[in-house]
Structure 1
Amino acid sequence: MQIPREQVPVFEGALHSIGALSVSLADSADHPVLEPGVGETPLWPEVTITGLFENTHRTDDLLASLCAEAPGARMLEARVTELRDQDWTRAWMDDFKPMQFGKRLWVVPRDHAVPENAEKVIQLDPGLAFGSGTHPTTRLCLEWLESQSLKGCSVLDYGCGSGILAIAAAVLGAKQVTGLDNDPQALISSRSNAANNAVAEQVEVRGPGPMSGLQYDVILANILAGALIELARGFSELCRPAGQIALSGIMYTQAEDVKAAYRPWFDGFETMQFEEWVLITAVRSAQEGQA
């Protein structure tokens, strides 16, 4: 059913209390929230909330129980769908095949055979890989990383999600990588995936906190254009002189606005495009910006 985000806690608790095996939240419209503010819960204005129940429950009984727990449910339209029983992990794996990025880099499901010609490999757990390289923005970032010489570099992956970009940087030779995210599940996912790829010592995964005095050779951020614009000054402080930024999660119509926000501190802008998405790269200027 579709509910305002303010009612999520009530309905989430109600569904669990009447026996839901799981409760999931999804965007009811087109309002992606990829990088919420620190301490914020990433929710959309209108949320589709779904409860998964054993098929032993009668639909009428479930709806009556839900209305008793959350009286507002009486005014909402609920849709009930019977799901065919299957191995959901296996179904996901059937859609997730090995993918190549550039000449050397591959992303492969952990239970899948690694292609013989794969030089650099990231293996992902299907239970945790909510960033698997299939989205155009992730693809752009991975292809750009594969094209760089990262040996000995320090890298910041801002908004690391599954950790795929941080892990890719480590696999491709970065000396030290920091994956930063404010979503607890993302931190769990990133740490697990880093350990599974034997780069846990190279990849530090952390939540928000003081970063004063820290600087990186490369900063990656695959988030939203609005958030990237707000972070321009902060990234300029975190990027070493002559260091690089790689920014994605940007529609091609937003590219000029993002570039304008970074020009006081960066130059040498280049743009890669895939479908309607772009990746913007630039180099940290030696002189300080005045913005």
Structure 2
Amino acid sequence: MAWQQLHLQCEKSNVDLAEALLLEAGALSIALDDAGDQPLFEPLPGESPLWDEVILTGLFDATTDAGSQQAIEQLSHEIAAQVQATRTWLTAVDDKDWEREWMSNYHPIQCANDLWIVPEWLTPPNPEATNIIMDPGLAFGTGYHATTRLCLDWLTEQDLADKVVIDYGCGSGVLGIAALLLGARHVYAVDIDPQAVLATNQNAVRNQVGNRLQAFLPEEFTDYCSQNEVIPVEVIVANILAKPLIGLAPYFSTLIAPKGRIVLAGLIESQTEQVTEAYQPYFALDPKHAFTTQEDQHWQRLSGTFTS
């Protein structure tokens, strides 16, 4: 089966109308992309931010009347007029084995101190290394993002033997699983996304550490802590975003033991001072510069010790 894609660029105020018109015309799926270079950070629950200028891509089955070249060209003119599109264009997409295509984008990643992240369908390059076997799934944390790598490198530098760790904002569970494979005794993983909780549990089983990891939504973890003596812990890892990190500073101070270690990631250089100020009443933090992401922006890692 072959496919036709109709691309439309319009202002975000017209995106809902453009989506409705594409679906009404028979689009099988619609993708939204940034028409410029405007960063959007991970939204909180219930938020759906959009770029000021958006490219919508409607996918059509080229073997149907609605997906024919002539029909798509006519549709592009009709929708463009209604949504005030600044440009439209068409592309053809050959049929592929999309599962294989997706899998081909992933490869083993070597982190610090012989720690590897290996997609589950590949053979570890070094079977004797510490290998985290991962299914990327729908959750954040494949190891390809700079912030994940920063935290993984930090974990390999810590003495985690028999330590209890909280992985807050666990995503795929890669950081918590790494901690367990590096010697931690138990991990409590927390995320606001139910899909992340599911992915973390599945990946923990995949790495044969499921009996030493528990994954929760935040409110579930709060309830669990109130009913069980699970805190304070020795290590907290939080790879999320600057705004929630700032808000979580007092809460993290209630979870961690004296002299406990913490690492924070998901912030860029311009946000470091604000995050540091929020944690100063409780932690002594040091910044770590890392990978360049955009001009004059670098991902940062803050790590330190609980002092209160």
> TM-score normalised to the size of structure 2?
0.76
1:55 counterpart residue number: 62
Contact 1:33–1:42 (Cα < 8 Å) also in 2: no
Q: C-alpha distance in 2, partners of 1:52/1:103?
A: 44
Query: Greater strand percent: which structure?
Result: 2
1:261 aligns with 2:278: yes
1:236 is displaced (CA, Å) by 1.6
Find the residue that maps to 2:161 and give its secondary structure.
Answer: coil
Which of the residues 188, 206, 216 maps onto 1:206? 216
1:102 is displaced (CA, Å) by 1.5
Query: Structure 1 pair 184/49, CA: closer, same or farther in 2 (3 Å)?
Result: farther
Find the residue that maps to 2:218 and give its secondary structure.
Answer: coil
For residues 100-123 of structure 1, what are the alpha-carbon distances to aligned partners after superposition, in whole Å with 9 as ceiling and x for unaligned?
A: 112231101112111235421111
Unmatched segments (≥5 aa) in structure 2: 1-7, 292-297
Q: C-alpha distance in 1, partners of 2:247/2:9?
A: 31
Q: C-alpha distance in 1, partners of 2:14/2:273?
A: 37
1:43 aligns with 2:49: yes
1:30 counterpart residue number: 38
1:5 is displaced (CA, Å) by 6.4
Which of the residues 84, 91, 108 maps onto 2:118? 108
Q: C-alpha distance in 1, partners of 2:256/2:250?
A: 10
1:98 is displaced (CA, Å) by 1.3
Contact 2:263–2:303 (Cα < 8 Å) also in 1: yes
Query: Structure 1 pair 203/53, CA: closer, same or farther in 2 (3 Å)?
Result: farther
Query: Structure 1 pair 75/97, CA: closer, same or farther in 2 (3 Å)?
Result: same
Percent identity, aligned pairs only, is 37
Q: C-alpha distance in 2, partners of 1:182/1:2?
A: 32
Unmatched segments (≥5 aa) in structure 1: none
1:264 is displaced (CA, Å) by 0.4
Contact 1:104–1:118 (Cα < 8 Å) also in 2: no
Query: Structure 1 pair 84/232, CA: closer, same or farther in 2 (3 Å)?
Result: same
Query: Structure 1 pair 66/218, CA: closer, same or farther in 2 (3 Å)?
Result: farther
1:224 counterpart residue number: 241
1:283 counterpart residue number: 305
For residues 80-116 of structure 1, what are the alpha-carbon distances to aligned partners after superposition, in whole Å with 9 as ceiling and x for unaligned?
A: 3222333333334333221111223110111211123
Q: Provide the aligned C-alpha RMSD in A.
A: 3.2
1:167 counterpart residue number: 177
Letter in 1 for 2:183: G
Larger radius of gyration: 2
Which of the residues 74, 87, 97 maps onto 2:97? 87
Alignment length, in residue pairs?
Answer: 282
1:209 is displaced (CA, Å) by 0.6
For residues 210-245 of structure 1, what are the alpha-carbon distances to aligned partners after superposition, in whole Å with 9 as ceiling and x for unaligned?
A: 526454322211122232222212222222222121
Q: C-alpha distance in 1, partners of 2:146/2:22?
A: 35
1:20 is displaced (CA, Å) by 4.2
